[in-house]
Amino acid sequence: MFVTVTANPSVDRTIEVDRLARGELHRATRTQVHPGGKGVNVARALVRNGVKARAVVPVGGAEGTQLVALLTEYSVDVVRVPTAGAVRCNISVIEPDGTVTKLNEAGPPLTGDDSVAIRDAVLSVVSDAEGVVLAGSLPPGAPDDFYADLIGRLRGVGVDIAVDTSGPAFLAAVKAGPALVKPNLHELEEAAGRELPTLGDVIAASRELREQGAGAVLASLGGRGAVLVDGNGVWHADAPAEVRCTVGAGDALLAGFLSAGGKGPDALGEAVAWGAAAVSLPGSTMPGATDIKGRVARIDARPDPARSTR
């Protein structure tokens, strides 16, 4: 059982169009609605592949009710934390070549009482967890150390903690010492304070995060695969994929890594296979076993440091 914590969940509407032109009327060719937010997506991916997951989510308004209903349809065990503000709605517009235009709401403000309620809910449901995932952006009003504080409070529980967030919240969480962090290239560049045009640059920046407190770094590089840096070595892996939509692919990648034990090159290969399957599916659909089957990741224990990340 994995417990995921999403401080700023969403109801995600994905709209496919033939062509996106600013200021014009568009008619959708396909529309999907999914429960969203990084931690929510990780839980969905795990459950689709037979791994139990429990999602802790703050919910409010009609959108909050819809979010819980959607998660229940996916057989995710939902821990509701009532809040006054309505859950945000995000819109992704996808063109035939895979180009995604996203419109994300900021989300409802999180009060001090809301933060305490989420923290207490998490601490009350982790006794049977093999891992905890703290993921997604923080809503307005949440302190930068929201996830870092949770890491400190969970330290005595004896579970591995994975973090996937960005900005000041990411840097604060790294210093709190999670077992794993999963930045994408943009987030890693933001944390490093510089561009990372090669695998060698990514590896160097990942090692810096380990020096700051992270146990391992799983850096997702989009079409360039992913890099894993831990205390035992450095690996790079990628897998071929026909890109249809990239929304949620990094979350599927993290779920695949955790499902395979959360350590080492074999887990990295599984992660990349899940990510490749995800980008081949419409909207933020999480891949199932039939989508992943047959996808083989190429794992390199001696990645070329000069290889481009773009």
CA dihedral sign of residues 58, 39, 211, 200 = negative
User: Which of 232, 236, 242 is closest to 221 using CA atoms?
Assistant: 236
Asked whether 46 and 19 are in contact (CB, 8 A), the reply is: no
201 a catalytic residue: no
- Residue 207 token pair: 């090692």
What are the Cα distances from residue 38, in Å, to 43, 72, 122?
9, 17, 16
Q: Give the Cα separation of 74 and 176 in Å (integer).
A: 32
The one-letter code for the residue type at 47 is: V
Residue with tokens 């496919």: 16
- Residue 79 token pair: 């821990």
* Options 251, 291, 300, 304, the catalytic residue: 251
- Residue 229 token pair: 């840096």
What are the Cα distances from residue 86, in Å, to 23, 62, 65, 139, 155?
29, 7, 9, 12, 31
Strands 180-181, 30-36: pairing is unpaired
What size, in residues, is the chain?
310
10 Cβ contact partners less than 8 Å away, ≥ 6 residues apart: 35, 36, 37, 40, 67, 87, 88, 89, 90, 104, 105, 107
- Catalytic (active-site) positions: 251
